[in-house]
Chains A and B, each alone.
Chain A
Amino acid sequence: MKITWNWLGEYVDLTGLTPEQVAEDLTSAGIPVEKMASMNLGVEGVVVGLIESVTPHPQADRLRVCHIDTGTKKLQIVTGATNVQAGQKVPVALVGAKLPEKHIELANFRGLSSEGMLCSASELGLDDKFLPKDQAEGIWIFPEDAPLGENVVEYLGLNDVVMELELTPNRSDCLSFRGVAYEVAALYSREVHMPDVDTSGVATVSDKPLSVRIDTALCTGYSGQVVTHLELGPSPMWMQMRLLAVGMRPINNLVDITNYVMFEWGQPLHAFDYDAIDNWEIVVRQAKDREVLRTLDSQDRELTSDVIVISDHMKGLGLAGVMGGENSEVRVTTTTVVIESAMFDPITTRRTSRLLQLRSEAALRFEKGLDPDAVLPALHRASMLMVQYAGGELVGAPVITGKALISPGAKQQILVRVVRVAEVLGYALAIEELEGFCRQLGLQTAREGAALSVTVPARRPDLLREEDMIEEFARLAGFDRIPSTNLEGVLSHGGLSKSQKLRRMARDYMRNQGFDEVWTYSFVDAAGHRKLNIADDHELARPMMLLNPLSEDRESLRTTMLLPLLDVARYNANRQWDALFVFEIGTVFLPDAKVVKKGVSAPVEKKMLAGVAYGSVAKEPLYAGRNFDFFDMKGIVEGLFGRLGIANLINFERAVYPYLHSGRSAEILAGEKPIGKLGQLRKEVAKAYDLPSEVLYFEVEIDAMVELASPHLYVAELPRFPQVERDLAVVVNRNLPVADLFGTVKEAAGSLLESVTVFDVYTGDHVGQEEKSVALRLVFRAPNRTLTENEVQLAVDQVLLQLHSNYGAILRK
């Protein structure tokens, strides 16, 4: 909402105040003034002049010579503008004048002297986007009644300041000068004076009938005034300038008056051509389904029954509160209009304006809800302005119908307890002070013991209950008066949940492994799975879709962390990072049919720890030699499980994923339950992302780890007897997983086996082509004695026997 200082001054006395101070005080009272600008950007020495004659320049085809009368002087001015004609009044910058971007001096154009300059609107520093095109492109042609010789700063009212208010949604009352005036009055304890709207003394004629019927509950009040003998023309310059200043395009006197009154009272008005109304009966009704109405922007709009239509008994005349119809538009031939001032359902107006994408100043006000007390004053005010500035005559009294206007409900009463004010704010305000604040706000009060009964006028629909009044008191007292205190009452124990602690730990762990933390967006391209070689019918390829995405590449909710992490890898690979180690703890969204509510189901949200890595293990090129590989990444993951004390609960099993190397990928399992994936990216996937051929990826579900992690740590007793080691090299089939050997060894060796590790895997000339030799180190120990050679040998024999019978393993000599 924009306001101007001088315009505001018509409704509240601003004597002794400056725009700067008011802006600051409004801001700290919760009506932030976002911008403030002088309307005069540096215009000086420009006057209204009359063009007496225009003649061609003898030496130049494109120039014209104008003879100007400024009332006190006759001037010769050369111009390049093509829209000048004798008899026009124009802004004349005299020699020595200042314009925002020019300084005017005596000039000579091809042998003829030019004693000044004729100006366009933009040369005067005005935003010409709301001016008619012919006005904006050439010299600004003033109306005929512009006073000859007057300084245009005076004439155009440029000695004014425009303020832009950033209103919060609850303060729709300040979408009018009246509302802002009440706010300023409250801040400085002044009175609001609205213009006289008593039409009783205005002469009327009575030969044009009008009736109104409301056929829908979505309109609670409708008033109309017929005005006749109108002369369509431009509105007075001061009115045009004020509308321009608040961002409204001047159109003609009738439309400008309805808009001017809207800004003044906050009540949108509409003027219909009276002669377009069949039988002079207005019917307010809901549209028929698929009813078509051509709005005054010449668009045919197909309507539904959710839209309120102003009509006669034959046809629609306009969309209530949103836009008029083309058939009832005020045009050059119009001499009689109906001014409409009505109340339409805010939600319906809001839906209609959104549906048809017609966001007008009127719709904005309707959808925030109107003040019923302003409906009739606005109608009267517009009627009187039409009499004054468009030569109109009122036809009888206005037609008034609808419950909100005929029998308005009782005003809102709010009981405010003095003690409650102190309880909520933390400091006490005396009842006298509260009464004073109410007076400033223009609210009536009555004492009820230690409470105030406050009567709220309809212009403040945001004041509904005690807390709303407490806020009013707090802001008028100033929020600075609220002291700083400490919370009282029982102590509470703060902290992190198990899952939150684990995530912090996992982050620290990953960082200590040299991985940088990244944060990626949750929205991805729904076709992104194809880049990962994932088939269209795969569960990861069926993400939740946004109904209203901003772009195709962010249209769905990610189902895997791999997609965004590969984007990170590509982004950095393209910036010459030849090694990259990144991780993220992020949410994936998996569609789930289980939790259905109101016909839809929310996705399962899983927090994942995921990482991507490629490049040299050593950071310094000097020591580069080995690339980060599968076992590096597996080691990172195993280390994490070790850190959580759950390593012994986790298995890695060979698995196949569409985007991972089929021979270098594993499923991470806790018992039978899959909790993650690990592997090297398929070469073609890596290539599609401009990445090197060896890229490693892993992901683990955070909550699965949380479930496994034990809160306890029990220390094992230190061994008291020595261990005995035995190294065995066995030859087995090349494809046999070493983990299988471990399992058999542990089973066969019995309780004396403390650990088994692998220390060499050999393939080559000394074993068969389909074979490999695996060197195992077995460590034996008994808790209560030193083991004998025999005991150990017996266990080893058992191991070899079992390995042979399970896998045909032979001890390598």
Chain B
Amino acid sequence: MREQLLALQEQALVDLAEAEGNALDAWRVQYLGKKGALSLALRSMSKLSAEERPIVGQVANAVRETLEAAFASKFAEWEGKQAAKQEEKETIDITLPGRTRSVGAEHPLQKIIRRIEDIFIGFGFTVEEGPEVEWDYYNFEALNLPKDHPARDMQDTFYLSEELLMRTHTSPVQARTLEKRRPEWPIRIIVPGRVYRRDDDDATHSHAFTQVEGLVVGKGVRMSDLKGILLTFAKELFGENQEIRLRPSFFPFTEPSAEMDIRCIYCGGDGCSTCKHTGWIEVLGCGMVHPRVLEMGGYDPEEVTGFAFGMGVERIAMLLYKIEDIRQFYQNDLRLLKQFASLPE
């Protein structure tokens, strides 16, 4: 009996070695099934003596375990082969392009505005806005520019009526803010916004452009504070090693007035064509708020003082991104704009 079982095992293993696919299933039925060879062999055990039965039983169990293990391993091997075949069939060219979910580009001017806003928010400034269609009063008169003042020539104006115009700068928001907040101080605001000048469009002029205005009013505000805040700002925006220089200038709504230059960001101050070989680049106008402006806004210039500054966003974007034609900001050529989807800060 024992020899019979071992012979069965041997035969089964030989058969298993050659079985594949459906044949594997058939093998399992043939040897391990309820009516399979091993079951039949065990059934005949009833004829054995009581002494022989446990011994042969042990052998039979060993044979079953061996065959089951052999089957499991063979089956796993076969399954593995099948899976490999399937995957080979399903193989793709991983060098083909991915289906991108592209992120759109931030407009370069928006990018600059956001950076400037964030810098000044860090200094404790709030962001104010005002209308683009403005009254003559706020755009000029409240800023110490009475009608027929020659300085109005500095800014050629689009008019909608005698009193209504397209604002020529963001400064009217200074006048509006003073009027709204009086008599409270401190005022610390910046004002981004679109402004309009009656200039023919060319590479350096645009009838519409963007300014960011700043206004600080409070007790004991000094021109040295203006210089301090502008220096920090210049370092944040143009780089840690930036230096600034103030030069006397004129704006009707500030006194003293100044232009602020930074070290040329291309040549570092050695002189190049961008800075006209001066080593400096003009980036903003600023000054101490003219006492008349404070008075018209309802403040006593003996009690509070203030400073203001204003910069052209296009100019800064042109410097930082090396854009040479201001019209490109409004042309919206996707070949240009899409480059701002990936540009770092």
Interface set of A (CB-CB < 8 Å, partner B): 27-30, 32, 168-172, 346-347, 350-351, 367-368, 423-427, 465, 467-468, 470-471, 474-475, 479-480, 482-497, 500, 504, 507, 510-523, 544-550, 554, 557, 568, 571-572, 575, 577, 580-583, 587, 589, 597-600, 602-603, 605, 618-620, 622-623
Contacts and interface: CB of A to CB of B under 8 A. Distances in A.
A647 B163 CA distance: 42
B338 interface: yes
A517 B106 contact: yes
B256 A547 contact: no
B227 A169 contact: no
Nearest to A465: B291
Given A30-B248, A483-B228, A497-B127, 9 more contacts: A482-B224, A486-B225, A492-B125, A511-B105, A513-B104, A517-B110, A571-B333, A602-B131, A602-B133
Nearest to B158: A546
22 contacts: A32-B247, A169-B149, A169-B151, A485-B227, A487-B216, A487-B229, A488-B225, A489-B186, A490-B186, A492-B124, A494-B126, A496-B127, A497-B126, A507-B110, A516-B337, A517-B107, A519-B330, A550-B198, A572-B333, A587-B132, A589-B133, A600-B163
* A-B interface, 3 closest residue pairs, ranked by CB to CB distance from nearest: A426-B224, A30-B248, A168-B250
B337 A547 contact: no
Most buried by B among A27, A519, A599, A603: A519
B124 A484 contact: no
B106 A507 contact: yes
A237 B131 CA distance: 57
A100 B227 CA distance: 47
Interface of B: 96-107, 109-110, 114, 117, 120-127, 129, 131-133, 135, 148-151, 153-154, 158-164, 166, 186, 188, 194, 196, 198, 200, 207-208, 216, 218-225, 227-229, 231, 245-250, 252, 255-258, 288, 290-291, 305, 329-335, 337-338, 341
B188 A494 contact: yes
B255 A467 contact: yes
Contacts of A517: 104-107, 110, 337
Contact of A485 (B131, B148, B208, B222): B222
Contacts of B162: 600
Contacts of B249: 30, 168
Given A484-B231, A516-B338, A423 B222 contact: yes
A486 B124 CA distance: 13
A251 B151 CA distance: 32
Contacts of A520: 330, 332
A512 B103 contact: yes
A580 B105 CA distance: 12
Contact of A169 (B117, B250, B331): B250
B160 A491 contact: no
B310 to A, nearest CB: 15
Contacts of B338: 516
A351 B110 contact: no
Contacts of B257: 471
Contact of A605 (B114, B131, B150, B164): B131
Contacts of B334: 516, 572, 575, 577, 580, 582
Contacts of A487: 123, 188, 216, 218, 221, 225, 228-229
A510 B104 contact: yes
A521 B331 contact: no
Contacts of B329: 519
B332 A482 contact: no
A480 B127 contact: no
A518 B288 contact: no
B250 A171 contact: yes
Contacts of A479: 245-248, 258
B228 A518 contact: no
A444 to B, nearest CB: 22
B207 A485 contact: no
B100 A619 contact: yes
Contacts of B196: 522
A464 to B, nearest CB: 10
A474 B252 CA distance: 17
Contacts of A545: 160
B97 to A, nearest CB: 5
A475 B256 contact: yes
A583 B332 CA distance: 11
A545 B161 CA distance: 9
B224 A581 contact: no
A605 B258 CA distance: 33
A572 B332 contact: yes
Nearest to B136: A598
Contacts of B125: 492, 494
Contacts of B200: 550
A549 B158 contact: yes
B335 A575 contact: yes
B344 to A, nearest CB: 16
Contacts of A493: 124, 126
Contact of A480 (B110, B123, B220, B245): B245
A514 B102 contact: yes
Given A426-B223, A522-B208, A474 B106 contact: no
A544 B290 contact: no
Contacts of A484: 224, 227-228, 231
Contacts of A425: 222-224, 256
A605 to B, nearest CB: 5
Nearest to B156: A548
Contacts of A523: 207-208
A586 to B, nearest CB: 9
Given A172-B150, A517-B104, A467 B221 contact: no
A517 B127 CA distance: 21
